[in-house]
Chain A
Amino acid sequence: MENLAIRTEQLSKKYDLAMAKHRHDTLRDQLMESLMSVFRGKNKRPGNQNETSFWALRDISFEIGQGEIVGIIGHNGAGKSTLLKILSRITEPTLGRGEIFGRVGSLLEVGTGFHPELTGRENIFLNGAIIGMKREEIRRCFDTIVDFAEIDKFIDLPVKRYSSGMYVRLAFAVSAHLKPEILLVDEVLSVGDLQFQRKCMAYAEELRNSGATILFVSHNMFSIKAICKRVIWLAHGEIRADGPPDEVIPLYEKVSRYSSDRRAGAAAMGGTSEMPIHITDVQIFDESGTPRAIFEYGERMRVRVCYTAIKEIRNPNFVVALIRSDNVACCNYSTATDGFPVPSLHGDGVVEVLTPPLKIVSESYTISAFVWDKDFQQKYGSLDGPNFHIRHHLYNTHFGVFHEKGEWFVPREIADNQVSIAKEV
């Protein structure tokens, strides 16, 4: 690659589970532990060491060029955050090597080291120094930081007197002036209110336009697709796939579906309450019956549920739920409530629901299918189905959960006495 921003060679990180378990423990426990292990000494096999440690990252090698926007996806515990922590040098790798060409910034550090007793002015210098700016540099862009944060009147007030909005604006203003060449964003860990998150994204956008390299960890496939040209998929600490989002994300979603199938299956198998209905598949199509994963806002969707009923079930109630990527259940379609009574079923079968025009906002959703009894008391079977996206240029989660047009008018009795907009036009 011509202009490298990041290169890693077999970066690996091993965590000591024993250590993590004992993290806040006391010296006494440690002594007891060592004393006990003397007595247990004979039983201890040399292989035991493998059980007390695990590799959070293993042989991670990749090259990222300048100006690339790379998304990092994977399940919880796949090593995404560990990778970012190593790249930002917060923790050290156990093995391997990484090279970074340029100044690194991360949105993790926004407001880090702010001291509530210090004034805004003092905190700008302190926070700037902590994230790696030189004093001269901070002094040079001090005025722009204050302007950006819109707090000029309060600059000499301790930040503990600030409103949370002012606090965030100030913290952000300092970080934004670090002007990193490489930005690490961990959306999973990012906290703060909506306004703050939006500010983060706008900042990332601006950096992208200025040619910075961005590494972006997210669970939200939609935002990954929207921002990244390349995706690295981590699974169990290793790189499973590395390529354009159109190739990698479907692979990832397929696997996450299977793994949740297995979980549902395992739940159904084990325990006393064996599910009498196995939902074998859930498929989604558009209105005309073509398989699809991305829908425009307002399109209708056809969801097909395939099942096997092991024994006869009376009055089953099929439910299809649309669940947003952040686990908000947005709506349910149910044979019982939608007026499609099913008297009884046995054996294999298929049922389909054609949704009304989908008015939920632009996001990533999962389909879940269930079979309940008609009063939603007893569950006969369930399966997490495929993901799909809704697309709209304006209606997103900032706008609401769904959007339905309202009817606007000026009440007639008032309209007569009012120079109304409608009449003028």
Chain B
Amino acid sequence: MELAAGNAVKKPSIIIQPRKGLFQLDLRSVWNHRELLFFLVWRDVKVRYKQTAIGALWAILQPMVTMVLFTVIFSKFAKIPSDGIPYPVFAYAALLPWIYFSQALTQSANSLVGSSSLVTKVYFPRLLIPLAASVSPMVDLLFSFMVLLILMAWYDIAPTWGLLALPLFLGLAITTALAVGLWSSALNVRYRDVGHTIPFLSQVWMYASPVAYPVSMVPEQWRLLYSLNPMAGVIEGFRWALLGKKSPDFIVMAVSAAVVLLLLFGGIVYFKRMEQTFADVI
């Protein structure tokens, strides 16, 4: 009869229980909170250049100055080759994803610790915090991208069909930043050492990535090991998609992408495991 249905126990809107199993990732709740993600990113972007004199110009200034320095030191003095592309454009196209990555790395590593008042006071999927931190520097990248277009016009480099693949590499860059950010932000809650390591790490990492030099300079027998660095694939991809670099190293890109996916998956699992104790430890 209908009575049974009428008396049926109302479903609880929230169930609280300890998480069991390694792979209970509950990514659905992240999706349900996508509006909050938007607001967190929006906050980061809005706040970044508040009360600065030149505002968003900072986003352009940093890669431009670095490019000039690189051109003088690595191209003029050290005579590093650039795969037949004018060196300034060659470096700038790599600096775009690299500067994005190093910013995202710094921000996401400190993201959880920096929002301890949120973590100890309100519930929402903690994953949103490093996620927002690794997405928001994208806005800077879009600004500095304009300059690249000008540079390309100046050096008379026409975009190729490879440009269509750019979103793919943007995605790969975000995924890399997120994967590293998940690990570092969760570790930073327990060990504040991480916060101190990041500036140093990002410096070392830059020299291990083909920012100032081409992948072709890396000896053949080390190439595979080299491509374990996910940023190698991202940067190689950027150069190929934007500048139509000939003979891109697809193996480097594929290995990098595989490493990123592994790192990301491990990062999510680790983050989710640590998540339950964030509020107690932070």
Contact = CB atoms under 8 A, between A and B. Distances in A.
Interface of A: 3-4, 7-8, 11, 15, 19-20, 23-28, 30, 85-104, 108-109, 112-113, 115, 117-118, 122, 125-126, 129-132, 134-135, 158
B15 A98 contact: yes
B124 to A, nearest CB: 7
7 contacts: A20-B281, A88-B123, A94-B18, A98-B16, A112-B117, A115-B47, A122-B43
Contact of A26 (B38, B50, B193): B193
| 5 A-B pairs with the lowest CB-CB distances in the bound complex, closest first | A98-B16, A99-B12, A89-B123, A92-B276, A100-B14
B247 interface: no
A25 to B, nearest CB: 8
A94 B16 CA distance: 10
Contacts of A88: 122-123
Contacts of A100: 12-16
Contacts of B39: 125-126, 129-130
A85 to B, nearest CB: 7
Contact of B15 (A24, A97, A102): A97
Given A90-B121, A103-B13, A109-B122, A117 B51 contact: yes
Contacts of B16: 8, 11, 86-87, 89, 92-93, 97-100
A92 B14 contact: no
A122 B38 CA distance: 13
Nearest to B282: A23
Interface in B1-60: 10, 12-19, 35-36, 38-39, 42-43, 46-47, 50-51
Contacts of A132: 122, 124
B216 interface: no
Contacts of A3: 10
A70 to B, nearest CB: 17
Contact of B18 (A8, A24, A92): A92
A410 to B, nearest CB: 54
Contacts of B120: 90
A108 B124 contact: no
Given A85-B279, A115-B47, A130-B118, A96 B123 contact: no
Given A15-B280, A26-B191, A90-B123, A99 B14 contact: yes
A52 to B, nearest CB: 15
B272 to A, nearest CB: 11
Nearest to A103: B13
B47 A117 contact: yes
Which DSSP category, helix, strand, loop or mixed, fits chain A's interface? mixed
A130 B124 contact: yes
B14 A129 contact: no
Nearest to A95: B18
A90 B281 CA distance: 12
A220 to B, nearest CB: 22
Interface string B190-227: 11110000000000000000000000000000000000
A23 B281 contact: yes
A117 B44 CA distance: 11
Contacts of B19: 92
A43 to B, nearest CB: 27
B62 interface: no
Contacts of A125: 39
A101 B13 contact: yes
A90 B122 contact: yes
B277 interface: yes
A53 to B, nearest CB: 12
A96 to B, nearest CB: 7
Interface string B86-98: 0000000000000
A126 B43 contact: yes
B102 to A, nearest CB: 22
Contact of B17 (A19, A93, A113): A93
Given A117-B51, A125-B39, A98 B118 contact: no
Nearest to A135: B35
Q: Which of A85, A96, A113 has the most CB of B within 10 A?
A: A113
A113 B280 contact: no
A73 to B, nearest CB: 22
Interface in B122-141: 122-124
Contact of A130 (B36, B47, B51, B276): B36
B47 A118 contact: yes
A125 B118 CA distance: 15
Contacts of A91: 276-277, 279-280
Nearest to B281: A23
Given A26-B192, A91-B276, A117-B50, A130 B122 contact: yes
A176 to B, nearest CB: 16
